[in-house]
């Protein structure tokens, strides 16, 4: 066989291999695209009713009446409902019930509770998650299982016991700091509901960091606290960020605890109790203004899902090794 014929066979073989690879990738890509399109269509159809409910709420905040479906095309839209909301008028013909600054104060109260819950949850979960991930101590596994058990209890079931502790603790609190104490107690009580699962999430993130990284810092002379602060924490930043967002929204959206420990006990309103008061009598409430208040209440949640989708997916894949 001549050298030219051998080279010709080699070239033909390479061309056939390349052609097979192209066909293989084309088939795989088309199949994956079809599967993605199919899943997106199914998920879109499933979530369509939920999206429509939120869309009707947002559009109603700008409409002249509460929308229910087809009338979204015939309604008249303006900023009138938002103007009335910020002027403190819960219906067009009613007198103002509060001022613009009262509403700002309510928003600040809500921010204080949400930011406080986020700070407590992040600090406690980051420290405890590191301890459960890196340290071996007696009853470690039992405590981890107990955390799951704690998370199973709904907040409402613990409310009576928490309220009893609150009433007992009031004897030790000076009256001049009562308002600050009510905020602190509400923040700690609400954060305690989020901490068990947050510890498991942070433990999963610390588990993903190889032991060699920590050992290298310890061998170089760094203390355990310095290693945790300068070596490990920067590597779990996505988990801390996502945890902060989850905890912030938990404090922002809470109604039961802020109602009991702030609104009933101290007359302090947050957005949740403000909306509850606004639509307390739904038969006489002017619902477009209530829709504007609900949309204002939803804004952090909407912004959260728009800007943190990738971060949430990374958090969900953090894992919770035992």
pLDDT in tens, 203-228: 888 888 888 888 888 888 888 888 88
SS3 content of the chain, % helix, strand, coil (to 5): 80, 0, 20
Which pLDDT score is estimated for 118?
92
pLDDT at position 57: 87
Cα–Cα dist 133/122, whole Å: 16
- Rounded to whole angstroms, how far apart are CA atoms 290 and 205? 41
Is a pLDDT exceeding 60 seen at residue 154? yes
**What is the reported pLDDT for 25?**
52
Tell me if 285 sits within 8 A of 219, measured CB to CB.
no
What's the whole-number mean pLDDT along residues 146-165?
83
Backbone torsion region of residue 111, taken as left when φ is above 0, otherwise alpha when ψ lies between -120 and 50, otherwise beta: alpha
| pLDDT score, position 18 | 52
Q: Is the pLDDT of residue 320 over 50?
A: no
The mean predicted confidence, pLDDT, of the chain is: 81
Query: What is the rounded average pLDDT of the residues 175-186?
Result: 89
Q: How far is CA 281 from CA 68, 81, 107, 178, 269, in A?
A: 20, 18, 22, 31, 18
- Compute the distance between CA of residue 33 and CA of residue 26 in angstroms, rounded to an integer: 10
Q: What is the pLDDT of residue 16?
A: 60
User: Percentage of residues in the chain with pLDDT exceeding 70?
Assistant: 84
pLDDT in tens, 87-136: 888 777 777 777 888 888 998 999 999 999 999 999 999 999 999 988 88
Residue 265 has pLDDT above 50, yes or no: yes
Cβ-defined contacts of 79-88 (< 8 Å, 24+):
81/288, 81/289, 81/291, 81/292, 82/292, 84/289, 84/292, 85/289, 85/292, 85/293, 85/296
């Amino acid at each position: 066989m001549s050298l030219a014929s051998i080279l010709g066979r080699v070239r033909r073989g390479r061309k056939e291999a390349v052609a097979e690879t192209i066909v293989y990738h084309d088939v795989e890509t088309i199949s994956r695209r079809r599967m993605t399109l199919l899943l997106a269509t199914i998920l879109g159809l499933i979530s369509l009713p939920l999206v429509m409910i939120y869309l009707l709420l947002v559009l109603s905040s700008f409409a002249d009446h509460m929308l229910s479906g087809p009338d979204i095309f015939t309604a008249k839209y303006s900023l009138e409902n938002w103007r009335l909301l910020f002027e403190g008028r819960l219906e067009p013909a009613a007198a103002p019930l509060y001022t613009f600054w009262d509403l700002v104060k309510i928003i600040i109260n809500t921010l204080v509770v949400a930011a406080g819950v986020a700070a407590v949850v992040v600090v406690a979960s980051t420290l405890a998650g590191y301890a459960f991930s890196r340290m071996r101590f007696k009853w470690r596994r039992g405590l981890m299982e107990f955390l799951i058990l704690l998370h199973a209890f709904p907040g409402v079931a613990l409310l009576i016991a928490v309220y009893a502790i609150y009433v007992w603790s009031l004897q030790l609190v000076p009256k001049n700091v009562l308002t600050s104490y009510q905020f602190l107690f509400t923040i700690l009580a609400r954060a305690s509901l989020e901490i068990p699962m947050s510890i498991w999430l942070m433990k999963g993130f610390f588990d993903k960091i190889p032991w060699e990284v920590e050992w290298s810092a310890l061998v170089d002379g760094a203390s355990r606290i310095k290693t945790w602060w300068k070596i490990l924490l920067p590597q779990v930043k996505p988990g801390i960020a996502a945890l902060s967002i989850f905890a912030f929204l938990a404090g922002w959206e809470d109604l039961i605890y802020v109602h009991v420990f702030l609104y009933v006990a101290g007359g302090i309103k947050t957005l949740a109790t403000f909306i509850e008061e606004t639509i307390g009598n739904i038969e006489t409430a002017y619902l477009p203004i209530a829709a504007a208040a609900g949309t204002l209440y939803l804004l952090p949640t909407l912004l959260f899902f728009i800007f943190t989708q990738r971060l949430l997916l990374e958090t969900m894949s953090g894992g919770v090794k035992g």
